[in-house]
Amino acid sequence: MAEFKVVLNDVKTGKSYNVAVSGNYANSLDGKNIGEVVDGIFVGLPGYKVKITGGSDKTGTPMRADLPGKKRTMLLLADGKGFHEKYPGQRKRVAARGSAISSEIVQINMIIAEYGPKPVEELLAPSEKKEE
């Protein structure tokens, strides 16, 4: 069974929230691609729509939107996303993962695309623990 850590960004306030997703909600995210808009109920935001913007696997390999599929592959990159050249014309072979979410993905990055009736702070506020 898949289990994900979702980093959810509120575009209006600039705050980010960490949400753990497991069970049926995690299984329903399997196979979704970067750029897709999904229902916010998967991350605890009923009435919201969230957009998948990226993620990484257990080794820290980032997902790329321009790479189809779920597999991890080695790419020869020039300056751009995932590699920044130190001198002009430099290229490097870098690991990258496809744009589809699989069970090997650990972290998923999302932004809020459409807001719901309740504020985000109210739905995702961390519960305060009382010290004894």
- The whole-number pLDDT of residue 83 equals 82
Alpha-carbon gap, residue 50 to 71, rounded angstroms = 24
pLDDT tens sequence across 101-128: 999 999 999 999 999 999 888 888 776 6
Alpha-carbon gap, residue 72 to 2, rounded angstroms = 18
One-letter amino acid for residue 36 of the chain: E
Contact 105, 97 (CB under 8 A): yes
- The whole-number pLDDT of residue 127 equals 60
- Fold of domain 3-66+100-124: Ubiquitin-like (UB roll) (3.10.20)
pLDDT tens sequence across 2-50: 789 999 999 999 999 999 999 888 898 999 999 999 999 988 899 999 9
Structure tokens at 87: 């001198």
